[in-house]
Amino acid sequence: MRIDLHMHSRFSDGLNTPTELVEISSALGLAAISLTDHDCLDGVNEALEAGREHDLEVLAGVELSCEFAGRDLHVLGYGVDQNHQQFQSMLSRFRETRYERGLKIIDKLHDLGVTIDREEVLKKGGKGALGRPHIAAVLVEKGVVSSAGEAFEKYIAEGGPAYVPKHRLTPAEAVSHIRAAGGLAFIAHPGVFLENMNELEILLAAGFDGIEVFHPKHGANTTRRLTAVARDHGLLISGGSDYHGFPSRDLPLGSLDIEYEVLEDIKQRLTRD
């Protein structure tokens, strides 16, 4: 029984609908998934409904944008109540800032001589949280770049000529919001953002419930070290493919061998708390 607890839909910066993610996961024989869109819970109800139709367990999830030591940090929330009013209000503010950020990036591209239609980008974003992948997709369609990866590398990655910083929470704020909504807070793919294990020790003081140990960008050594840290601190572990649907940069859904026991431990803690 394999699971995948990290994936994104069109409601944030993925290419698939929540229903399509459930259908793909079911066809792959996965036992459970979590939809963890960036700063958005809008796709969760659709995923839950599709999960019931396909006999696939779906755990409500979200991935919040944070800042730590002057750098990006992502925080996963599992088991959050998608109808929690205060949490949804916080996410609404996030979406507003993402929208404003997207328009600023488009303006910067225009200043660089790259003109794309705002409405086309907004259509890509749909009802969810507007993100850079939506801009990258339009750049590819217009022939400005040959791939989303090139769009990031050439224009919109951090440090790029069209990059605009995004609104971010502190780790402690993210943990507080997630716990208030009935969920558990996990540090997402720390091997990507943190420079060393000392930083991880500092970060854990914010009160996290777990660490995302299994991730495509975590090598075997990183996975072992993170597992040891989680064990030493009595923390839960999680993991997933971080699937967005871009063949050039993503591993397939369910490509990491994560056992159902990982989800069982999370559900037990959710029930206990």
Looking at 13-17, 246-250, 256-260, which range is the least confident one?
Answer: 246-250
130: pLDDT strictly greater than 80:
no
Q: Cβ neighbours of residue 113 under 8 Å, at least 6 residues apart?
A: none
Numbered ranges of CATH 1.10.150.650 in the chain? 102-156
Residue 210 to residue 204: CA distance in whole angstroms? 9
Residue with tokens 């840290």: 229
Average pLDDT of the chain to the nearest whole number = 92
Architecture of the structural domain at 102-156: Orthogonal Bundle (1.10)
pLDDT tens column, 138-156: 999 999 999 888 999 999 9
Do 70 and 76 touch, CB atoms closer than 8 A?
A: no
pLDDT of residue 122: 84
In CATH, the number for domain 3-90+167-272 is 3.20.20.140
pLDDT tens column, 88-105: 999 988 888 888 989 999
Write down the number of H helices and E strands in the chain. Answer: 11, 7
pLDDT tens column, 45-85: 999 999 999 999 999 999 999 999 888 899 999 999 999 99
Numbered ranges of CATH 3.20.20.140 in the chain? 3-90+167-272
pLDDT of residue 7: 97
pLDDT tens column, 163-172: 998 778 999 9
Percentages (nearest 5) of helix, strand, coil residues in the chain:
45, 15, 40
pLDDT-above-90 percentage for the chain: 71
Phi and psi at residue 219, to the nearest 5°: -75, 175
pLDDT of residue 132: 86
**pTM of the entire predicted model:** 0.85
pLDDT of residue 128: 63
